[in-house]
Structure 1
Amino acid sequence: MDINKRAKVLIQAMPYIRKFSGETIVVKYGGNAMINDKLKSAVMSDIALMRLVGVNVVLVHGGGPEINAMLKAVGKESKFENGMRVTDEETIDIVQMVLAGKVNKNLVQLMEKHGGKAIGLCGLDGNMLMAEKLVTSADLGYVGEIKEVNPEPLQNVINNGYIPIVATVASGYDGNVYNVNADIAAAHIAAKIGAKKLILMTDIRGLLKDVNDEDSLISVVNVSEVPMLKREGIIKGGMIPKIDCCVEAVRSGVSRAHIIDGRIEHSILIEMFSDEGIGTMFY
């Protein structure tokens, strides 16, 4: 990029930096962006830069591939029901070990490498995420439904200049540890802390009119349109829970929720600081 183009990019970003400085953004991090080293570096750089210009970021992560790998290493089969991991007593121990341990601390280390100051947390810390056993037609074991969010640990970390990186295991009222969906956790956290934006990183461009045509992106959706889009079959399958998270966040006071393509380098910066934006925005 030549010097003039670089200058134009910076000038274009200025009003957005001014708009979001001092605000809090919640980013749910997962998918290809979490397993591709080049994309991982881009995400960490993006968030470190956002914090540098005054934007508070909470990074919420999953770790499905790493959990699968560890289960395989100990000779245990990964089982799913309706897209949710069946989590028995042995599996929840592995989920906690992998998410709150290896994955979380690796992300903290990577963030520090890219100039960000980070502290790793999980939903057990300060009873940040409180959950009850999720009741469905199939017994999923230690899979939880979030009932409460305690924002104090997050606010303390942010107020001291750090980026909280949150692993999504939760405390149960019954004393057990529960595996909770990272998209849902991010939406609950965004609502509770009064985030300006919720950003869900995925492996597709956003909401598509035709799932086989990535050029059929729907860029903007009013949450009131979601039931109609479901009836028309545009919102279906694995997109339903993600979009329900966006709807719930917006209805709970988050100004905007976004589903963006984590396969694109610096997709967070494009969404945050450019006129074009990226993915699908819900308002």
Structure 2
Amino acid sequence: MDNNCNDKQFRAHVLAEALPYIQDYTHKVIVVKYGGNAMINDELKNSVMRDIVLLNLIGVKVVLVHGGGPEISEMLKKVGKESVFIDGLRYTDEETVEIVRMVLAGKINKSLVNLIERIGGKAIGLCGIDGHMLKCETADPKLGYVGKITEVDTKIIT
């Protein structure tokens, strides 16, 4: 009985502390960057997705921007293509772009959407090229197709 009381008190305390943030961010859009290395641990991945579902349930609109470096490296290795890094950034030629797109948009994106829906949330998976949502420019020619985002058309996500 005592543990149950402590648990209820703890939950009430957490909610009381969270209330100002809930009030500030309800009906707002937040962008969450979820890096590929954070996806390696399934327990952590499930926890992050539960938090995203919770944020949505309290009225926060979440745009999840995910990475996938480890899975990209794994797929490149499977197809016999070596990953080349220059100053910590992956050199990306045309063939690598296709593999990156396949892994990010086809595998990871759909997997995260599925996980969010299994947890009880609703999600759609988009890629930056969908609806011309992202515009970018070459970051540094020595990196190949690596670029910097210059413009985001938010109409498709808001």
**Aligned structure 1 segments of 4 or more residues deviating by more than 6 angstroms:** none
| In structure 2, distance between residues paired with 1:92 and 1:27 | 23
Displacement after TM superposition at 1:32 (Å): 3.8
Please state if 1:3 is matched with 2:8: yes
> Contact 2:67–2:104 at 8 Å: present in 1 too?
yes
TM-score of the superposed pair, with normalisation by structure 1: 0.52
Q: 5 Å matches for 1:1-283?
A: 2-136=7-141, 139-155=142-158
Percent of aligned pairs with the same residue?
A: 62
Displacement after TM superposition at 1:147 (Å): 1.9
Q: List alignment gaps of at least 5 residues for structure 1.
A: 156-283
Question: Which has the larger share of strand?
Answer: 1
Say which SS state the counterpart of residue 121 (structure 1) adopts.
coil
> Contact 1:27–1:59 at 8 Å: present in 2 too?
yes
CA RMSD of aligned residues (A): 1.3
Q: Which amino acid aligns with 2:96?
A: T
TM-score of the superposed pair, with normalisation by structure 2: 0.91
| Structure ranking higher on relative contact order (CA contacts 8 Å, 6+ apart) | 1
Q: List alignment gaps of at least 5 residues for structure 2.
A: 1-5
> Contact 2:28–2:61 at 8 Å: present in 1 too?
yes
1:92-111 C-alpha deviation (Å, 9 max, x unpaired): 11001111110110010011
Equivalent pairs counted in the alignment come to 153
| In structure 2, distance between residues paired with 1:8 and 1:134 | 47
Q: Which amino acid aligns with 1:17?
A: I
Question: Which has the larger share of helix?
Answer: 2
1:112-148 C-alpha deviation (Å, 9 max, x unpaired): 1111100000110111111122225xx2111112222
Q: Which amino acid aligns with 2:151?
A: E
